[in-house]
């Protein structure tokens, strides 16, 4: 006769099952968002794709916004981690800058990455929690970029280096999104890496106030 599961064992089973259900929901939601955009992004359709009831879905994610945050959280985390890894290679500052530019261009050419980033920014416009997620990401990234900017151009003051870092983030974000949206128009994107680096050089060494 099989022994009944101990309370601790039963709890572990339920926790593992809950984790699988949560992952299934997030996976279904991500797939739906990429395929149909935000207009058809409904709890009913997500539950259908995940193979669960709406009430079960809402146990984990009470609202549509909660599901969207769960989809974007790992995307934002990966974005931050990759940028920090590029800046933490320990090479010369100029080499680090080239690594950052290469990452931005890779992100822009990745259809899923650019689409998810655009969807996330649209969520930021209406959701204070998503805004806070982005602000926290940018706060850490800005501090690291300030150090890189100061190493590239020691003549900049701390205030100038911070302003330059913020402009670099905006430039990287804009180029990545532009590359993603216009990736089918190869003529328009030809030579964009060179122009991107030229714009970065202007920010770093042609600083005017």
In the chain, the number of structural domains is 2
Considering the domain architecture, whether residues 115 and 19 belong to the same structural domain is answered as no
CB-based contact 163:171 (threshold 8 Å): no
User: For residues 163 and 133, what is the distance between their CA atoms, to the nearest angstrom?
Assistant: 21
More reliable by pLDDT, 47 or 183: 47
The parent domain of residue 70 ranges over 64-205
The answer to whether the predicted template modeling score (pTM) of the entire model surpasses 0.85 is no
* Residue 41 φ then ψ, to 5°: -85, 90
Residues 89-98: pLDDT tens digits? 667 888 888 8
Mean pLDDT of 170-183: 70
Q: Are residues 69 and 159 in the same domain?
A: yes
Whether the pLDDT of residue 209 is over 50: the answer is no
Sorted by sequence, the CB contacts under 8 Å of residue 63 that are 6+ apart come out as: none
Alpha carbon distance 199, 150 (integer Å): 17
Closest C-alpha to 43, from 60, 30, 57, 24? 57
* 38 and 70 belong to one structural domain: no
Q: Residue 12 maps to which CATH number?
A: 1.10.10.60
How confident is the model over 123-161, as pLDDT tens digits?
898 999 999 998 988 888 888 889 888 988 898 899 999
């Amino acid at each position: 006769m099989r022994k009944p599961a101990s309370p601790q064992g039963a709890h572990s089973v339920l926790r593992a099952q809950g984790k699988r259900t949560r992952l299934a929901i997030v996976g279904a939601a991500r797939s739906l968002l990429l395929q149909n955009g935000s207009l058809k992004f409904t709890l009913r359709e997500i539950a259908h794709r995940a193979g669960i009831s709406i009430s079960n879905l809402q146990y984990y994610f009470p609202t549509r916004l909660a599901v969207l945050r769960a989809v974007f959280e790992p995307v934002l985390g990966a974005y931050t981690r990759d940028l920090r890894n590029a800046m933490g290679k320990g090479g010369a500052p100029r080499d680090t800058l080239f690594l950052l530019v290469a990452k931005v261009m890779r992100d822009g050419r990745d259809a899923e990455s650019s689409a998810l980033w655009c969807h996330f920014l649209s969520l930021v416009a209406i959701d204070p929690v998503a805004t806070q997620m982005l602000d926290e990401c940018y706060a850490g990234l800005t501090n690291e970029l300030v150090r890189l900017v100061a190493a590239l151009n020691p003549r900049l003051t701390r205030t100038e280096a911070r302003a330059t870092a913020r402009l670099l983030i905006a430039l990287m974000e804009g180029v990545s999104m532009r590359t993603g949206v216009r990736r089918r128009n190869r003529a328009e994107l030809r030579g964009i890496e060179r122009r991107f680096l030229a714009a970065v050089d202007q920010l770093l060494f042609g600083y005017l106030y």
